[in-house]
Amino acid sequence: MRRVRIGLLGCGVVGGGLVQLIERERQRIAARDSIDLHIARILVRDRARERPGIEPGLLTNEAIEVIDDCDLVVELIGGVHSAGAYVRRALRAGQDVVTANKALLADCGRTLFALARQSGARIGFEASVCGGVPIVRAIERGLAGDSIESLTGIVNGTCNFILTRMEQDGCDFAAALRMAQQRGFAEADPAFDLSGADAMQKMTILSELAFGPLHRFARMHGIADVTTGEIEQARSRRCVVRHVGSAHRVPGGVEVRVERRELPETHPLAAVRDENNAVIVRGRAVGEMTFGGKGAGSLPTAAAVLSDVIELAASDRRPVAERIPSSMNLT
């Protein structure tokens, strides 16, 4: 039995879910994988804030304490600047890192993977796209023997929740947004989701995995201007409105688009409702495969984080070239 000390950067919705999940699943993981997962330190902004189920003595305001006193770092604070500095420090020290930070990967993923390659560290990032849906692992390893031709999916739970509530409840955009905020699927300031920027970051990560570091032609449109009339007109044509991301090869690179689309009721993505996500992967050999499930929420996202933690903690140290996704290599 090997004990693995985890340094947790951030203890918000997903971080709290991860603590809960590790406590609940520790014995099962130990019996199956011979590893004892133990949270050593947790970085928080406010140590005085009450966090049920979390030992106050684990909390600290010093990121260096968390990074230096662990075997594996889990980054869940979000953003690019502070998170990037912490992740780079860990990678330079040769520590494995697990992150759910799509913004960080979309902004400087290639640099981070190059740094990991140099130091012999590994990066797990399953939770950065589609919450609990194992789409990263599927593209990176499950479909490694095929050439991917295109990706099409619903990757933002906030937008999908709003559109399906407008469709099924007949409410207007403002009412559907309030409902999403009340249920925790939308931020107090939802502009990043509604503009399509969140979905674009996720599609950027998936396109890097599927097609490599090619030049990207990006087009983005959100849902802030959707109306009940648009929803009703689509319904009259036996269609639904969904916010869809796509990526496919074009001359000179890869086109990545995020936009509203009117889909026939028979389309696989038309049945994806509320906070659920789904991605259709078309491969040259396998044809179309659909991956779907909970794309948001504390425990689904925490489960994806934990799957990366288990994989990194339980696996042997292989040659670096085998650990870094080939599409992320800069050589």
**CATH number (domain holding residue 78):** 3.40.50.720
294 carries an active-site annotation: no
Here the CATH number for the domain that contains residue 220 is: 3.30.360.10
The residue written with tokens 């031709």 in the block is 149
pLDDT at 331: 33
Is 216 in the same domain as 246? yes
State the Cα–Cα distance between residues 162 and 166, nearest whole angstrom. Answer: 6
State the Cα–Cα distance between residues 328 and 322, nearest whole angstrom. Answer: 12
pLDDT at 295: 83
Q: Which of these is catalytic: 102, 122, 165, 202?
A: 202
Is 23 in the same domain as 140? no
Range of the domain at 185: 135-293
State the Cα–Cα distance between residues 268 and 260, nearest whole angstrom. Answer: 16
The total of structural domains in the chain comes to 2
State the Cα–Cα distance between residues 255 and 215, nearest whole angstrom. Answer: 9
State the Cα–Cα distance between residues 41 and 239, nearest whole angstrom. Answer: 50
Mind listing the pLDDT tens digit of every residue in the chain (331 residues)? 899 999 999 999 899 999 999 999 999 999 999 999 999 999 999 998 989 889 999 999 999 999 998 999 999 999 999 999 999 999 999 999 999 999 999 899 999 999 999 999 999 999 999 988 999 999 999 999 999 999 999 999 999 999 999 999 999 999 999 999 999 888 899 999 999 999 999 999 999 999 988 888 999 999 999 999 999 999 999 999 999 999 999 999 999 999 999 999 999 999 999 999 999 999 999 999 999 998 877 889 999 999 999 999 998 544 333 444 544 543 3
Is 140 in the same domain as 271? yes
Is 273 in the same domain as 220? yes
pLDDT at 316: 57
pLDDT at 139: 95
Which residue type does 315 have?
S
State the Cα–Cα distance between residues 210 and 213, nearest whole angstrom. Answer: 9
